[in-house]
Amino acid sequence: MAVAALAIATASAFAAPIEKAHVPASPHWAVHLDCDKLKSTVLGQHVLAEMNKPEAQEKLAAFSTIFNFDPRKQLHGVTLYGTSTKPEDGILLVYADVDTARLETFVSGAKDHHVTPHKKGKIHNWLDDNKVGKDGNPQRTFAATYSSNIIAFGQSEAQVGLALDVLTKQTPALDTSTSWPFQSTDADFLQAYTRKLELPESDPSAAVLRLTKTVRFQLGESGGNAKAVLVLSAETPEVASQISTIANGLLALLKFQKGKPEVTQLAESLTLKQDAEKLVVTLSLPAKDLIQIQVKSEANKAAKPN
């Protein structure tokens, strides 16, 4: 609960597209979810409806009582980024309307809580029993607030310190970079980008991603229609052609999945197009259809014996 508390402890409404001034100039990967924009879509309304179900309401009520925070109304956006491929180097930024002082007071009672000064700020850290390391012991969590508006939440004190330096403009941010191809449209509520992925050679299904130089993903909704765009960039058009061949083969396999109509429907909604060194994969279908596919998929999983 302490981790969740500090993860949502912000008091602003930046949301909208990714705030490049809050991300280091050369992140290895970044993901941004615009919760406000999502809430206005058919997909977002489905998510809210799921959160309003009785089984979820009880947990939300308990959470709201402790933290005076309702994520359905007060959560505006979430940004995650990493400066390397190491998971422990990841940083979470959350934008919401909550009582930061109240949450910090709550976290101060967490297990083995400490506060470390960092320039003009401070970094909280505590042991999290829900996060166990390879040695079987609880792992430490780190977090820091900035101007009572933003919180940096991570697994490394050094990375949280770097996040504070970016926020206080002591370290160059993404808004000073001209090489970051983080593109989006007005309809997008989810954006993601990563540089070269380091995936195991033993995983044949990851062959497409191993050949790519960068990966960009966008998901949005306009007029009730959902649209997702995945752009895989290679070093040369020849390598992109190899990626296209593999991707088309995988798509053909999906279209012939017997007993899985939701998978077939998704496959039929996909288009692949090579543009020089890039392969553009587009998914386009009514948002209500995408919701039904997800519902059927969950029902099928629940029906399978353990």
CATH number at residue 266: 3.30.565
Structural domain includes residue 28 = yes
Do both 63 and 200 map to the same domain?
no
**Which residue among 146, 176, 206 closes a domain?**
176
Give the position of tokens 């399978």. Answer: 304
163 lies in which domain range? 2-176
Structural domain includes residue 188 = no
Structural domain includes residue 184 = no
Do both 13 and 118 map to the same domain?
yes
Q: What tokens does 94 get?
A: 């959350």
Q: Over its length of 306 residues, how does the chain's per-residue pLDDT go in tens digits? A: 333 333 333 333 344 578 889 999 989 999 999 998 999 999 999 999 988 888 888 888 877 777 777 888 888 889 999 998 888 899 999 887 877 777 788 888 889 999 999 987 899 999 988 888 778 888 899 998 887 677 889 999 999 999 999 999 999 998 887 666 666 778 899 999 998 766 666 665 566 777 888 899 999 999 999 999 999 999 899 999 999 998 899 888 888 877 777 888 888 899 999 999 999 999 999 999 999 988 887 887 777 776
Do both 61 and 115 map to the same domain?
yes
Structural domain includes residue 227 = yes
Do both 30 and 164 map to the same domain?
yes
Do both 159 and 262 map to the same domain?
no
For residue 255, the model assigns a pLDDT of: 84
**Which residue among 147, 176, 205 closes a domain?**
176
Q: Is the dihedral of CA 266, 267, 273, 274 positive or negative?
A: positive
Do both 154 and 18 map to the same domain?
yes
Structural domain includes residue 186 = no
Do both 23 and 155 map to the same domain?
yes
Do both 211 and 145 map to the same domain?
no
The closest of 14, 15, 30 to 180, measured between CA atoms, is 30
For residue 1, the model assigns a pLDDT of: 30
Do both 149 and 231 map to the same domain?
no
Do both 166 and 230 map to the same domain?
no
Structural domain includes residue 55 = yes
List all residues 6 or more positions away from 42 whose beta carbon is below 8 Å from its beta carbon: 221, 224, 226, 287, 288, 291
Angle at CA of residue 80, ends 14 and 157, nearest 5°: 110
How far is 8 from 63, CA to CA, in rounded Å? 12
Structural domain includes residue 137 = yes
Do both 211 and 135 map to the same domain?
no
Do both 114 and 13 map to the same domain?
yes
Structural domain includes residue 190 = no
For residue 10, the model assigns a pLDDT of: 33
**Which residue among 176, 205, 238 closes a domain?**
176
What is the tally of structural domains in the chain? Answer: 2
**How many Cβ atoms sit within 10 Å of the Cβ of residue 137?**
11
